[in-house]
A = this chain, B = another copy of it.
Amino acid sequence: MNGSVHPLGRRLAAEAVGTGALVTVVIGSGIQAADLSQDGAVVLLANSLATVFGLGVLIAVLGPVSGAHFNPLVSLATWWNGRGDGQGPLLRDVAAYAVAQISGAVGGAVLANAMFARPLVNWSTQQRHADHLWLAEVAATAGLIVVIFGLTRTGRAGLAPVSVAAYIGAAYWFTSSTSFANPAVTIGRAFTDTYAGIAPTSVGPFILAQILGAAVGLGLVAVVFGPQALKSAPRDIEVTSAAFAEQGSTRP
């Protein structure tokens, strides 16, 4: 990865910390809300708003270091979009990112369990296994990809913190699956038998649906934003980071 602003080690640390914190927010807020209320919509409202706030901050703070992917499919799509012009990340960097993301996600689940006095590892028993849930994961992930690459294709990666957070806030509600849309977070959520959990046996189909959704999303990006010119190539990991850093230097 040439032209890298931050060394790979720190980028991987940022991805692990960020994905972990995201999972802690998702699981922790779910536990707190479900402990406090009998009203299912109030619980989901608390869970979704906490995620909006937390995810937005994490992207804003860690974006300049690693690009704030927190999601193997976002890293993979970044590789896909940049594969033609020699500017994108290498596949082995994507693999390293994915390992950091998944490790972080598991750590985040353990931390959430610990803060709420639950067993540190506590396999979920919540089945999420149905056709319409898989359709929802396809739609949710496709939408996420359109948001991220729509913004980067139009040179506005700096709007990602607010936009991605808001998108997830909507997707919690408009999908029947409450929008996992992220294989690393899905794996992390298997480690807690609480509100936000997912049974290990339901993880595989969810991830397959998410992969399909990412492909649909990339197709939609091409249809709406057009085939991509060499010059306006989608940002690879470093370029995204640079955009964030630039935003910093010009905005405060």
How many residues does chain A have at the interface if contact means C-beta atoms less than 8 Å apart? 87
**Which of A88-96, A152-160, A185-193 lies at the binding interface?**
A152-160
Of B13, B115, B156, B173, which is within 8 A of A176 by CB? B115
**Copy total for this chain:** 4
Report chain B residues within 8 Å CB of A154.
64-65, 244-245, 248
> Which of B36, B116, B117, B131 meets A40, CB within 8 Å?
B36
At the interface, yes or no: A106 with Cβ under 8 Å from chain B? Answer: no
A147 within 8 A of B: yes
Could you tell me if B49 and A252 are in contact, using CB atoms closer than 8 angstroms?
no
Residue of B nearest to A39 (CB): B37
Q: Is B46 touching A159 in the complex (CB atoms < 8 A)?
A: no
The reply to whether A156 and B115 contact each other, CB–CB distance below 8 Å, is no
A115-B46 contact in complex given A10-B224, A17-B220, A224-B17, C-beta closer than 8 Å: no
Minimum C-beta distance from A68 to chain B (A): 11
Are the CB atoms of B116 and A132 closer together than 8 Å? yes
Per-residue CB proximity of A179-199 to B under 8 Å, as 1/0? 000000000000000000000
Stretch at the interface among A20-28, A69-77, A121-129, A200-208: A20-28
Please indicate the chain B residues that have their CB under 8 angstroms from the CB of A25 in the complex.
170, 173-174
A residues lining the B interface (CB < 8 Å): 6-7, 10, 13-14, 17, 21, 24-25, 27-29, 32-33, 35-47, 49-54, 56-57, 60-62, 64-65, 111-112, 114-117, 130-132, 135-136, 139, 143, 146-147, 150-151, 154-159, 163, 166-167, 169-170, 172-176, 220, 223-226, 243-249, 251-252
